């Protein structure tokens, strides 16, 4: 398997981001939500959902997240307001480290996203509240690495790129 595209984002004072790179796998899975869920679950990413991507900046302080684009396409701003706009389309998979901001900027009417978390971890939704900044940064630092890449399992590039 080819390595995914990687993106790194620094703490911008509001969105903490992560020292781990965001991973973007292009056209790596069938554009089928059930197939994506099976692949993620086989690789110990569960607790999933089907929906879209919030249209506001947010991040998760207590879990990494995988997003599989099951149909449609979107423009997502990763890393906070000064981050990077990325186009994603059906078949793409994005692995977002805990703390990395994401916000849907635009989407097709048929956008469907399958999300999941390592070992079905509970997740929170944070929006960068200054009063919680230190507690959130400590929580992000405590999030363990997943045991497998959500796409390619134990032999996938995630562990090498995040290890």
Domains and CATH numbers, the chain: 5-155 (2.60.120.10)
Distance CA 124, CA 112 (A): 21
How close are the terminal C-alpha atoms of the chain, in Å? 18
Percentage of the chain beyond pLDDT 70 is 100
pLDDT (tens digit per residue) in 16-41: 999 999 999 999 999 999 999 999 99
Under the banding of pLDDT at 50, 70 and 90, the label for residue 103 is very high
pLDDT of residue 92: 98
Q: How far is CA 5 from CA 52, 110, 137, 158, in A?
A: 22, 25, 25, 11
Buried b or exposed e, range 126-143, using 16+ CB within 10 angstroms = bebeeeeeeebeebbeeb
Under the banding of pLDDT at 50, 70 and 90, the label for residue 116 is very high
pLDDT (tens digit per residue) in 120-153: 999 999 998 888 889 999 999 999 999 999 999 9
With beta carbons less than 8 A apart as the criterion, state whether 33 and 112 touch: yes
- The pTM of the whole model exceeds 0.85: yes
């Amino acid at each position: 398997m080819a390595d995914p595209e990687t993106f790194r984002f620094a703490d911008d004072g509001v969105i903490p981001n992560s020292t781990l790179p965001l991973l973007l796998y292009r056209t790596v899975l069938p554009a089928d939500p059930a197939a994506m869920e099976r692949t993620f679950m086989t690789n110990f990413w569960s607790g999933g959902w089907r929906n879209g991507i919030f249209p506001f900046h947010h991040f998760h302080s207590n879990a990494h997240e995988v997003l599989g684009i099951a149909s449609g396409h979107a423009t997502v701003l990763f890393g906070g307001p000064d981050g990077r706009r990325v186009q994603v389309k059906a078949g793409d998979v994005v692995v977002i480290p805990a703390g990395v901001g994401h916000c849907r900027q635009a989407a097709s009417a048929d956008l469907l996203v399958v999300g999941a978390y390592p070992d079905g971890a509970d997740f929170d939704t944070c929006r960068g509240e200054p009063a919680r900044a230190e507690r959130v940064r400590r929580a992000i630092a405590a999030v363990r690495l997943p045991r497998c890449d959500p796409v390619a399992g134990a032999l996938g590039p995630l562990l090498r790129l995040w290890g």
